[in-house]
Chains A and B, each alone.
Chain A
Amino acid sequence: MKPRTGAAVTLAGCGKTFADGTRALAPLDLSVAAGETLVLLGPSGCGKTTLLRIIAGLESPDAGGRVLFDGADVTALPIEKRNVGMVFQSYALFPNMNVRENVAYGLRVRGVGKAERSRLADEVLEMMRIDALAERRITQLSGGQRQRVALARALAVRPKAILLDEPMAALDAALREHLRGEIDALLRRLSITAVYVTHDQAEALALGDRIVVMREGEIAQVGTPREVYERPADAFVASFVGTTNRLEGTVRGGRFACAAGTMALDAPDMPKAALLFRPEAARLVLDPPAGLVLKVEQVQFQGARQKVTLCTPDSVRVVVETPPDLEIAPGMLMGLALDPNRFSLV
């Protein structure tokens, strides 16, 4: 199939309050560039699915909210007129049709003739490498196969944007990791606009050009995977995306001070500060100089790396991953050195 680019999607002031008064989404602005893969990441109930359904046209935003595709207002258009492709969490494959009929369905309602739509459906099936399944009933497919058929069906209509609602939530971990790579390659090859909802941070980091971290109906941070991972905007983002260490203390005169010691950094004075960093953003140093000094509590050898749990004098635990060549034993005192630019101060 020919590569194509999708539409730019813009949300302006889109909030959602349901009929029973619960507020799922605070009014927010967001734009997705044409061809970009944007991941909406957050715990369940954070409003990410509601946001996706507003883009799709399955929910309408509260008064004043607007949805634009390539600058054209589509807020009043129902989903069937928006030309989006959607992959549902349950896949929503039609049990009364076989695989090919499912994939061709979007073309069928667009009035494409039977022979032509079968040919187009087969093309997409081939691209997804599931052409052998064309005649199967949906009930005869495995979870991973269903997932691919759902994706093929959404792509077959050449949508302006593809919207994926936790498409891998129903699959087991190993399959998820495998399909993650496939979906990533596919979305990049087609350079189609994609909005991907997930609560799995690994999926978000692997797939997103940008990640929107959401919490209780609001956007907590928007950024590239690297930004979100290494410089989380706040403690929530930090804790939701990967393992995070957190040291609390103060900043005075260009030095961060906590119970474990002090460390130089470039920041204005703060009476209360928290230093956030990832396990792999720090190094352990033998024979510690001044700086931050912690006591080793536990060492887990993991082959390529070892995971060291350390403890500050005020009993805060810090996890650091280091190369295994360092001989470390519980009880030792180690110096903690942070890579510049790989921590955040909040």
Chain B
Amino acid sequence: MRSADRLAVLFLAPLFAFAAAFFVLPLAELVLVAGSGPNGAFEYLAILANPRHVQTLVATLALSAGVSVATLALGTVVALFLARTRFAGRALLVSALTLPLAFPGVVVGFMIILLAGRQGLLGAFTQSLGMDRLVFAYSMAGLFAGYLYFSLPRVLVTLMAAAEKLDPALEEAARSLGASRLAVLRDVTLPGLSPALIASGAIAFATAMGAFGTAFTLATRIDVLAMTIYTEFTLNANFATASALSLALGLITWGVLALTRNMAGTGVAAAG
């Protein structure tokens, strides 16, 4: 309807203005600053030339990939179990598993400290068994646990929805044709879940890549990309390097999300 077209333009204008002023412009500024260091536009290459940064990048990628795989593995087991089993207290268990959905990274970091920190529950438990205190919160392992804590609820939400939609007749048909349980899992169940696996895996990867709060809480010594950007910017006042690293980080996460969105169709769109 023509009369509504004008209103639509009017309604989009403030959004346009906001996005231009506080997103497009600052991002352009980031690109400019990244190219304004002593190395000019080569700041991007300078990142690659710096072995410490390359090491950090590789470590971050490996950590994020590891967290994604672990979250997906655990998530698949739990989602399939909860989708197919009915028992008293199931709703409560589902709530408990998905409630930490929006705990911020700092809080997640604190949870890991309580679990595996110097005065943590795991340490007390292992000590009571007569072993050494188990403390791993302030290392890569702690970060790994933190990202797992963070990703598990949201991966579960997606996977449980997908598992509920799987047609049990498909698995029964495969069994009737003589497929073993393992073969059914490999040939029917996992392919059926694959769009959800790709989607939630991408979210887990992207969030782990950009994570800052958890690392910040656990220790500033852990070398992941987000911490490096933070130290370069605030402690070393090295704006160009920080900008270039931020852009690299943004491009990687955005690229992974865009790639999987094409692979899995819709559903990954509003990934966090």
Contact = CB atoms under 8 A, between A and B. Distances in A.
Contacts of B3: 78, 80
Nearest to A80: B3
Interface string A70-81: 000000001110
A245 interface: no
A80 B2 CA distance: 11
Contacts of A78: 1-3
Contacts of B2: 60, 78
Which bracket fits the contact residues of A? under 10
Interface string B1-34: 1110000000000000000000000000000000
Name the prevailing secondary structure of the B interface residues.
Answer: helix
A79 B2 CA distance: 10
Contacts of A285: none
Interface in A57-87: 58, 60, 78-80
A79 B1 CA distance: 8
Nearest to B4: A78
A63 to B, nearest CB: 14
A79 B3 CA distance: 9
Contacts of A79: 1
B172 to A, nearest CB: 37
Nearest to B3: A78
Contacts of B1: 58, 78-79
Interface in A193-245: none
Nearest to B2: A78
A208 to B, nearest CB: 29
Interface in A75-119: 78-80
Nearest to A81: B3
A278 to B, nearest CB: 43
A58 B3 CA distance: 10
A80 B3 CA distance: 9
A202 B106 CA distance: 70
B124 to A, nearest CB: 56
A58 B1 CA distance: 6
Contacts of A60: 2
B5 to A, nearest CB: 10
Nearest to A78: B3
Contacts of A80: 3
A58 B2 CA distance: 9
Interface in B53-74: none
A284 B3 CA distance: 62
A78 B3 CA distance: 7
Nearest to A60: B2
B1 to A, nearest CB: 6
B221 to A, nearest CB: 56
7 contacts: A58-B1, A60-B2, A78-B1, A78-B2, A78-B3, A79-B1, A80-B3
Interface of A: 58, 60, 78-80
Interface of B: 1-3
